[in-house]
Each structure stands twice: as structure tokens, then as C-alpha cells.
């Protein structure tokens, strides 16, 4: 009898232990699920505040603040945050900025490279950290290291300038103003040169690298003139460079003898075209680039597909069609 009581007691104890084990197991599963769910919500949840980083080759060009403001506007509408940095045309500084943004664990980075090849190491670091990179305005050499590239049709921008030139002049002696470290600038000049290729009446007589800056262009053009290089056309990689060339020509009293082409469609450039001082500009749209870039960034973060490369069309602006455009603002 005593034995039977002991046996029953053991069975009851085992039942209680089994029930307790089941409850503990259920508790562990619930805790794990809660942890996973919390982690998912923290990373991908709709209520998470996202932080973006941006570094442009220079903010000393109105194109980039306009582009950046388009991104910032969309980011702030969603209650998110944008950190904008300026390397001032210094690739080493831009690399440091990208590493800083990686350390800050931003959700995505917008990059406009100072040097389209020199940025490789920083891009590899961002990819290793699984941070999406959206390149804007000018491509990088290692496109496999970035998630998306949004640019103007830079090659066609050069083509349009060359076609306009050939309509105006049967021959030309051309000064090219370049920025060799920026792929977008290379593509613009290449489009221009490919269009006049094989036509001996259109000759490039001088070239200068201005890094796309007005203040660096003026002395470079003055030096070309001082060296005795005679030219009657300036093909500039962007509007700030064209404006610097106009200033140099004006100082020498020869502005009216020279056709000056830019690429941007900036308010300053359009104003000079309206005053019949600048010949033409191939207009791009920093606003559209910004919109496409931030839209792609959010799609990437939401695990949706995006186009690897988005190309925004350009159009030529001359004195004949200037009244169709808003002279005071960007496209």
C-alpha cells in the first residue's frame, strides 16, 4: 500500500514537471518571437526613423544644394533625417566622410564622387556594411559596388551643344574646359567631340581642367589667351565654368567674338542666355535627379526592386527658346 502511494506520487510529480517544462518552453518561444519581432520592427518597421547620409563633390555649385534640398524635403516629410557633408573637391576628405557615415550606421548614402575611381575603397566599406549607396549626377567606376546610379544624359548634353555649334558656324577653333576626375564631365566632352569628329573645319586648339569651378576657370582661360591660342568657341563642362570663361573674355574685350556653351541650365546660365551673352546650355534637372534618388533609396530599404541606372533626359536652351523656361529657378 505504501509502495502504491509512492508510485502515484512519482507520477504526479512527473506530470507537474512535464506541465512546467511545457510552460517554460512556450515562454521561451514567446520571448524569442518577441525579440525577433522587435528586431524586425526596429530595422524595417514603418515607425522607425531612418537616417540618410549625403556627400557631394562640392556645395560651391548651386546644382548640389538644389539636388540635396529635393532629397531633404522628401526625407523630412516622412519624419526621417538627412546628414549632408561637403568634401570641397577633396577625395580624401570625401572618403573620410563616407567612413563616418558608415560608423553612424545610416540607412543609405547618397554620393556624388569627387573622383569617380578614387572612391573605390569607401564604396567597398559601405557594401561590406550592407548600406545601400545611391550615386547622383556623375557615375562611379565600380558600379557593381553601388545599388543605383541617377544621372543626366551627359553624353547627349555634349552632343546637343555640338549640333547647335554646327548650325551657327561652318568652322570653329575650340577651347575645351574640362573636369577630368568627374565621369559626367568626361561624358559631356566626349559627346561633343564625337559629334564634330571627322570634320576638319572644327578644331580643338586648347584644353584646360577647371574642376567645374568659376573661380578656377577665369585664370585658366586668361592663361590660354596669354599663350597666344586663338579660339572663337568655348565648350565648358558646366555653367559655372562657362560663366568663368565669359568673365575672362569680358576682361579682354573679346566676349562678343566667342560662342560660349555650358551644361546645366542653371538660373545664372539662363539669365546670361536671355541677355544674349552666353550662347547655349544643355539643361539638366537637379530636382528630378533628387526625386529619383530618394525614391530609389526608400524602395531599396523596403526591399523593392529599383533600376540599376536611371538616366534623366536633357534639352538645349538658346536665346530662341529661353522664354519657355523659368529663368529664376532650376528645372
Nearest-Å Rg of the Cα atoms of the chain is: 29
What's phi and psi for 96, nearest 5 deg?
-60, -40
Sign of CA dihedral 271, 266, 287, 283: positive
Strands 172-178 and 259-264: unpaired
| Res. 63: pLDDT tops 50 | yes
What's phi and psi for 261, nearest 5 deg?
-110, 140
| Res. 6: pLDDT tops 80 | no
Burial annotation 49-85 (CB, 10 A radius, 16+ → b, else e): ebbbbbbbbbbbbbbbbbbbebbbebbeeeebebebb
| Res. 45: pLDDT tops 60 | no
| Res. 112: pLDDT tops 70 | yes
Question: What is the pLDDT confidence band of residue 34, given thresholds at 50, 70 and 90?
Answer: very low
| Res. 184: pLDDT tops 70 | yes
Residue 47 has a pLDDT of 62
Residue 48 has a pLDDT of 82
- Segment 190-197 shows an average pLDDT of 98
Q: Where are the domains of the chain?
A: 15-48, 51-151+286-313, 154-284+318-324
Q: How far apart are CA 34 and CA 56, in angstroms?
A: 41
Q: How far apart are CA 243 and CA 215, in angstroms?
A: 9
Superfamily in which the 51-151+286-313 domain is placed by CATH: Response regulator (3.40.50.2300)
Contact 205, 179 (CB under 8 A): no
| Res. 10: pLDDT tops 90 | no
| Res. 22: pLDDT tops 80 | no
Residues facing residue 230 across a β-bridge: none
Residues near 309 by Cβ (< 8 Å), separated by ≥ 6? 143, 148, 149, 150, 151
Spatial CA neighbour of 136 closest among 219, 227, 69 = 69
Residue 236 has a pLDDT of 98
Same fold flag, 51-151+286-313 and 154-284+318-324:
yes
Superfamily in which the 154-284+318-324 domain is placed by CATH: Response regulator (3.40.50.2300)
Question: What is the pLDDT confidence band of residue 7, given thresholds at 50, 70 and 90?
Answer: very low
Question: What is the pLDDT confidence band of residue 254, given thresholds at 50, 70 and 90?
Answer: very high
Amino acid at each position: 500500500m505504501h509502495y502504491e502511494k509512492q508510485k502515484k506520487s512519482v507520477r504526479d510529480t512527473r506530470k507537474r514537471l512535464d506541465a512546467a517544462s511545457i510552460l517554460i518552453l512556450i515562454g521561451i518561444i514567446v520571448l524569442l518571437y518577441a525579440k525577433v519581432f522587435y528586431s524586425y520592427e526596429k530595422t524595417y518597421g514603418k515607425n522607425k526613423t531612418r537616417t540618410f547620409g549625403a556627400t557631394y563633390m562640392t556645395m560651391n555649385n548651386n546644382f548640389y544644394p538644389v539636388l540635396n534640398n529635393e532629397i531633404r524635403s522628401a526625407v523630412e516629410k516622412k519624419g526621417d533625417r538627412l546628414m549632408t557633408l561637403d568634401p570641397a573637391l577633396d577625395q580624401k576628405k570625401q572618403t573620410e566622410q563616407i567612413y563616418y557615415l558608415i560608423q553612424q550606421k545610416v540607412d543609405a548614402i547618397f554620393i556624388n564622387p569627387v573622383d569617380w575611381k578614387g572612391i573605390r575603397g569607401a564604396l567597398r566599406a559601405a557594401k561590406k556594411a550592407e548600406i545601400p549607396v545611391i550615386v547622383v549626377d556623375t557615375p562611379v567606376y565600380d558600379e557593381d559596388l553601388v545599388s543605383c546610379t541617377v544621372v543626366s544624359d551627359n553624353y547627349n548634353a555634349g552632343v546637343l551643344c555640338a549640333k547647335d555649334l554646327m548650325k551657327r558656324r561652318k568652322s570653329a577653333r575650340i577651347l575645351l574646359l574640362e573636369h577630368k576626375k568627374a565621369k559626367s564631365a568626361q561624358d559631356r566632352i566626349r559627346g561633343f567631340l564625337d559629334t564634330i569628329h571627322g570634320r576638319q573645319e572644327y578644331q580643338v586648339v586648347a584644353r584646360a581642367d577647371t574642376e567645374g569651378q568659376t573661380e578656377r576657370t577665369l585664370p585658366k582661360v586668361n592663361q590660354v589667351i596669354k599663350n597666344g591660342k586663338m579660339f572663337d568657341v568655348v565648350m565648358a563642362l558646366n555653367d559655372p565654368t562657362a560663366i568663368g570663361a565669359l568673365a575672362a573674355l569680358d576682361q579682354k574685350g573679346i566676349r562678343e567674338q566667342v560662342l560660349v556653351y555650358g551644361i546645366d541650365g542653371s538660373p545664372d546660365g539662363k539669365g546670361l542666355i536671355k541677355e544674349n551673352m552666353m550662347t547655349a546650355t544643355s539643361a539638366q534637372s537637379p530636382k528630378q535627379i533628387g526625386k529619383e534618388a530618394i525614391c530609389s533609396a526608400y524602395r531599396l530599404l523596403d526591399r523593392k526592386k529599383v533600376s540599376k541606372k536611371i538616366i534623366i533626359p536633357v534639352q538645349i536652351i538658346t536665346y530662341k527658346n529661353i522664354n519657355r523656361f523659368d529663368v529664376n529657378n532650376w528645372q
